[in-house]
Structure 1
């Protein structure tokens, strides 16, 4: 068993892409979310409505989207409106 010397921090290993080894902290694809099929959150609905208004695309807001689809639509609208 290896020990870290007192006063030193253990440096995380990296994956081949240079990202931290702790993949649990990475952003997951919405299609892989375990709760992605649940209704979108209130925050998602509010942000999606705002972005759809800014993009002058009221049809982009659909109150029946699930969390995963809302996230994907938000990402697309952020790119379209220059917010992301």
Structure 2
């Protein structure tokens, strides 16, 4: 019996800690970043939707980005 810990690099489907629900973000209540605002504007224009309000939080912006990407059929 081995006492070695499993090596996640050898796992075909390792769990990911890089994806976290935006509502769980420590900085989720911070104002959206400039990059988020720019990307949201582009996605809204492409989807024919109203531009996002300027006062979105990082978490809200991320959720809007995900929804627009899904609507536009992007990964």
Please report the TM-score for the alignment, with normalisation by the length of structure 1: 0.71
- Out of 4, 7, 13, the position equivalent to 1:11 is 7
Structure 1's consecutive aligned runs of 4 or more residues displaced over 3 angstroms after TM superposition are none
Equivalent pairs counted in the alignment come to 71
Please report the TM-score for the alignment, with normalisation by the length of structure 2: 0.79
Larger radius of gyration: 1
Which of the pair has the greater relative contact order for Cα pairs under 8 Å at 6+ separation? 2
- Out of 50, 57, 64, the position equivalent to 2:49 is 57
Counterpart in the other structure of 2:24: 32
CA RMSD across the alignment: 2.4
Q: CA deviation at 1:26?
A: 2.7
Q: 5+ residue gaps in structure 1?
A: 4-9
Q: CA deviation at 1:79?
A: 0.4
Distance (whole Å) between structure 2 residues aligned to residue 62 and residue 19 of structure 1? 37
